[in-house]
Copies of this chain bind each other. A is one copy, B any other.
Amino acid sequence: MMKNTVTKKKLAFIKKLAQKKYRKLHNAFVASGAKTVLALLTSSAYSPSYIIATPAFTKQYPEIASQYENIWHIAPAAQYKAADTLSTNPTLLAVFACKTLAVPYLTTRDRMLILDNIGNPGNLGTLVRVADWYGIKDIIASPTTVDCYNPKVIQASMGAIAHVNVHYTPLLPYLQHAKAGQIPIIGGVLRGANLYQTTLPQYGGLLIGNEAIGIDKSLRSYIQYPVTIPAVGQAESLNAAIAGAILCDHWQRVI
């Protein structure tokens, strides 16, 4: 097997991909960690352009190393740690091309998450993981939502980013279109119907709002099913990803 070496210039390039402007410029993102990178490699949706692995990892997975021989680079963790902003223990890192697909419209045959202005990358990554758990393939996100190729989003999704598409589009026209097509929209709100006493529609969209201010006022009239998770204790709110997961779980049981 060829022994490709990692150049300093390439490491500087990889490090820059932690910033959104460089991801846009190069249409590329970095994934790190064996679980995440292997999920992306085995998904047909993502093509790697550059891989760095530790000698130990390469030895452990010789088939993968030879499959990607041309772009496989071996380097000890210490050598590329500076380019890997999140891993405490780097083993495998890869650069992939970002994916941009046409925004799918909601139909009465599928379920999508619709995210309004989710700001925390950990929350978005967790919601991607939750969507994947519940078999939701597409997430529609407002342009104000954090970039799904942010390294912290990729990390929190635990590989689920390989199976779930995140589409960025303005939500107002998107919801207007859904309304015209009579597609039901569920929304997690503060003073809605008791979730435990609501029969959710089988299909449609589930709208989750910003961590601090919830769903934008301009979008609220498009929610046909405004629901609230009843609080028993003193907490004022639930984390957006937690609320999204509980709503997905209830939704799942409708089928």
Across the two chains, which residue of chain B brings its CB closest to A231?
A: B133
Interface of A is mostly: loop
Q: Which of the candidate stretches A13-21, A67-75, A177-185, A245-253 sits at the interface with the other chain?
A: A245-253
Given contacts A249-B246, A253-B196, contact A235 B126 (CB under 8 A): no
Q: Do A235 and B160 have beta carbons less than 8 Å apart?
A: yes
Would you list which residues of chain A between 210 and 250 have a CB under 8 Å from chain B?
229-239, 241-242, 245-246, 249
Q: Do B135 and A232 have beta carbons less than 8 Å apart?
A: yes
| 20 A-B interface contacts by CB (under 8 A) | A122-B122, A126-B239, A129-B239, A129-B242, A131-B233, A132-B235, A133-B233, A133-B235, A134-B232, A135-B232, A159-B235, A159-B236, A160-B235, A163-B233, A163-B234, A163-B235, A230-B252, A238-B245, A242-B242, A242-B245
A147 to B158, CA, bound (A): 24
A146 within 8 A of B: no
A86 within 8 A of B: no
Cβ-neighbour of A133 out of B196, B238, B241, B249 (below 8 A): B238
How close is A179's CB to chain B, nearest CB, in angstroms? Answer: 27
Across the two chains, which residue of chain B brings its CB closest to A249?
A: B246
